[in-house]
Structure 1
Amino acid sequence: MYFPFLRGKQFELIALRELVSLPIDPTKVSPIVEPLKKNLNTIATAAKALNTIGVKVQLIVNPQYGDLKDKTNEILQFIAIQEASYGTDNLIPTFLIQTSSDFRSFHSFRTNPSWSGNPFSLIHLKQIPEVDQIVQFMAGAQVFANIIHVNQILALRRRFGRISSSLLADPFNRQLRNSDYLDLEDEFFSNDYLYYSEEGYAGFCDYLTIGSDFIEGGRLPYAVVIHLTYLDSGSGDIRIHHFISDTNYDDSDTAGKFYEALTKLVNFVDAHSIPETIAISKFKEYYDSQAYPGLGVVKKLSMMHHIELMQSVMK
């Protein structure tokens, strides 16, 4: 199974909602969402839409960033209300594990009678001293996913033994400035989908075409870049192409720079016979109309394309 890791920003949640029309296959894809804003209405809307097609959403209850950091009980209460009041029963409480404090939050959850029988997911970003206690708490529990960061994978897989685990990697090679992508316009992204099953993993996870770095807001860019993953039919690898604007001398005319990058994307897609996804179709509409939807929409389409691509290559 593929677990795309998204943060609960507006356009990331809209991306999930719009992929309902694909539709997302619940046997192949289960998104992870790390909430950032105190108002969880947009997450409720996305979860409700995905619930109509049976897709489980792993909602992080102890986020690292944003308004809800250290608000685990608040998020758990939100999950309970969504199920009890609205019938939205596809939200899976998910814990990031990287400190002893995270273990205490998980311990409280597992020993609370209100939650003791509910499925949950764990995402191990680091190995903590309480790992053996975590293994004990997982015994006999309904573990939806046990996901281990690639940096910890060898040590922790040995500790978990027979417990089914999945792999988390961050293959997006983030650059300091958008113009820096000119030096690596096309590069390897991942081939986890090819090998995860035969290597004994239940699934794999990535941070899509965003990367794991948390960046809040930002200034207008000198260069506009569109990131698009695609299947290399020769090797079977997933590669990523960065389409960069040309007139990158200052932060003016973002719309014009978008069209420069978009022209390169459309030419590349046509030249390499890239299958048309929902996102590529929208990119072509913007190209034909010479419309500029805003950088948030550009990021949304890049993520939508990646999720659709990964679903298409999953067996």
Structure 2
Amino acid sequence: MYFPFLRGKQFELIALRELVSLPLDSTKISPIVEPLKKNLNTIATAAKALKTLEVKVQLIVNPQYGDLKNKTEDLLNFITSQKASFGTDNLIPTFLIENSADFRLFYSFKTNPSYSGYPFSLIHQKQIPEVDQIVEYMTKGEVVANIIYVNQILALRRKFRGITSSLLADPFNRQLRNSDYLDNEDEFFSNDYLYYSEEGYAGFSDYLTIGSDFVEGGRLPYAVAIHLTYLDSGSGDIRIHHFLSDTNHDDSDTAGKFYEALIKLIKFIDNHKTPETLAIAKFKEYYESQAYPGLGVIKKLSIMHHIELMQSVMK
């Protein structure tokens, strides 16, 4: 199983909705969503669309950022109300475990009669003192996913003997400025999909072509970058190519800079005979029409392409 880790930004949620037409395979893909905005309508819409395919959404109920930080009960109420009102039962309460406060939230959930027998997922970012107590509350039938950040993988796997776990990594090599990607235009990204099963994991997760760093908005970039993952047919590795604009001396003409980067992307996929995903088809449309869709759409297409790629390479 692949768990793409998304934050609940508009274009990330639109990416999930548009991938329904692929269609997404519920036996291979289960997105993690960390909600950021108080208005949860976009998450509700995405969850309903994914429900048609029985795709589970691991919805983080103790987000680290945004309007819903410290609003766990509100998010749990949202999950139960979506199920009761619309039959949207594919939203799985998911707890980030980084400190003792996170454990207390999980403990409150597990000991609340209202949630007795309710399925849940855990994402362990650090090993905390209460880890043995967490194990006690992990009834097999209730745990949908038990995901461990790669830095903690060895220590926590020993704690979770007998409990099927998945791994979370952040292979995206984020740069301070887009222009810095010129130093590493083509990089290794990941090969977790090749080895996770034989290494005893139930699945794997990453932060796609976004990275784990939380970035809220920002000014217009001097350089436009399009990040595209692809399969290296020789090694079987997933690599990432960064397509950069050329005229990067100021923040003017973002549309022109996008087209400069897009020309390079189109040439690359033609030379490498890259299979056409939904996102690549859209990039080709923008190339033919010379239209500029906006930075949010570029990010959305990069996300869509990576998820479709991962689904296509998984057995």
State whether TM-score is above 0.5: yes
Distance 2:272 2:111 in 1: 54
Check if 1:193 corresponds to 2:193: yes
Tell me by how many angstroms 1:47 deviates. 0.2
1:228 aligned partner: 228
Check if 1:85 corresponds to 2:85: yes
For 1:105-124, list aligned pairs within 5 A.
105-124=105-124
Check if 1:216 corresponds to 2:199: no
Check if 1:65 corresponds to 2:65: yes
Distance 1:228 1:113, change over 3 A: same
* Deviant stretches of 4+, over 3 Å: none
Report percent identity of matched pairs. Answer: 83
Distance 2:115 2:214 in 1: 30
Tell me by how many angstroms 1:142 deviates. 1.1
Counterpart amino acid of residue 154 in structure 1? L
Tell me by how many angstroms 1:114 deviates. 1.4
Counterpart amino acid of residue 184 in structure 1? N
TM-score when normalising by structure 2: 0.99
For residues 91-121 of structure 1, the C-alpha deviation after alignment (integer angstroms, 9 at most, x for no partner) is 0000000010100000011111111211100
Question: RMSD over aligned Cα, in angstroms?
Answer: 0.5
Number of aligned residue pairs: 315
2:135 aligned partner: 135
Tell me by how many angstroms 1:140 deviates. 4.4
Distance 2:115 2:209 in 1: 34
2:37 aligned partner: 37
SS at match of 1:268: helix
Counterpart amino acid of residue 3 in structure 1? F
1:161 aligned partner: 161
SS at match of 1:216: coil
2:46 aligned partner: 46
Distance 1:51 1:97 in 2: 26
For residues 204-243 of structure 1, the C-alpha deviation after alignment (integer angstroms, 9 at most, x for no partner) is 0000000000000000000000000000000000000000
SS at match of 1:139: coil
1:98 aligned partner: 98
Tell me by how many angstroms 1:36 deviates. 0.1
SS at match of 1:21: coil
Tell me by how many angstroms 1:139 deviates. 3.2
Distance 1:287 1:249 in 2: 23
1:283 aligned partner: 283
SS at match of 2:137: helix
For 1:140-155, list aligned pairs within 5 A.
140-155=140-155
For residues 120-157 of structure 1, the C-alpha deviation after alignment (integer angstroms, 9 at most, x for no partner) is 00000001000000000103451000000000000000
Whether contact under 8 Å (2:4, 2:31) holds in the other structure is yes
Whether contact under 8 Å (2:17, 2:50) holds in the other structure is yes
1:249 aligned partner: 249
Counterpart amino acid of residue 261 in structure 2? A
Distance 2:177 2:104 in 1: 39
Residue segments in structure 2 that go unaligned for 5+ positions in a row? none
Distance 2:239 2:43 in 1: 30
For residues 254-311 of structure 1, the C-alpha deviation after alignment (integer angstroms, 9 at most, x for no partner) is 0000000000000000010000000000000000000000000000000000000000
Distance 1:143 1:182 in 2: 43
2:172 aligned partner: 172
Distance 2:122 2:249 in 1: 45
Distance 1:88 1:235 in 2: 41
Distance 1:160 1:308 in 2: 31
TM-score when normalising by structure 1: 0.99
